[in-house]
Structure 1
Amino acid sequence: MENRAKRAADEWNEQRPDIDANVMALVGRLLEATQLLERDWLSPLAAQFELHPGEFDVIATLRRAGAPHALTPTALYERLMLSSGAMTSRLDRLERKGLTERVPAPGDRRSILVRLTPAGLALIDKLLPLHVANERQALAALTPAEQAQLDALLAKLITGLHKS
């Protein structure tokens, strides 16, 4: 399999030896890995259950919130790092599918909660073990020690990328 990032770095080294193509290759590899995970691993599994990956993220976030598996739309989009507009369209689709519902927040008539329906809870509980097995298989090229090292390095990088 061709390594696109290496090829691009080699081409840059040929055309512009004055720049650091290695850093470009590293970022390229991160982006390519993200695209491959999404396209070849995450999206196909979600599609088997008639979900978009973003919809899976919403029902998984509600599930991990614990009983009653409900959060405000604001809490949801903050946990998922989305805009409110993107969240609204996901919630509309999930509600049409009968997987979530909007209910009044207890004690605050101005606020609503997004809650998993029994069908949504059953779906995520069925899908989650398959999702974890899928991710495990996607990372199988790395040993458990390498996975731990990559996890630590990515956590450090993400911390560094957040601007104070």
Structure 2
Amino acid sequence: MDSCTIDTPLGCAKIIGNENGIASVSILDTPKEVSDTIPETLLDCVIQLKEYFNEKRKAFDLKLNPEGTTFQKKVWNQLETIPFGKTISYLELSKQLGDVKAIRAAASANGKNPLWIIVPCHRVIGSDGSLTGYAGGLHRKQWLLNHESEYKQQSLF
């Protein structure tokens, strides 16, 4: 597997993949040296992530190859249908999967999503509108939702 590390507005992101597709994009909590060279197999991913952060891309067009169970992959595929700038609840996600009782399993699969931003798990929130959990940290989830919002909030400070 090829890998590289890039800088993003939310910290360093590590990308792993090969000719079969992108297996993982994760945000690192500790700073890491940015890669000097990007493997050819990861170049499209790097370009598309930079376009996303520069507000020039709303959807990703990449060959993906994450590892996971059949159910996890079903959840991740469903996450990809959530439109840019929109959110759904965990309950709505489980309904879309065809089993309202699968809410905890869907939430667990959502939390194990290995493709940060590309498979938009940050677009799933609590039924009451709360951010709830996010593997990358709630401050990053809030940033991503603000970034995708058509109504940009200005900071007072």
Give TM-score scaled by structure 1 length: 0.30
Structure with bigger helix share is 1
Give TM-score scaled by structure 2 length: 0.31
Structure with bigger strand share is 2
Larger radius of gyration: 1
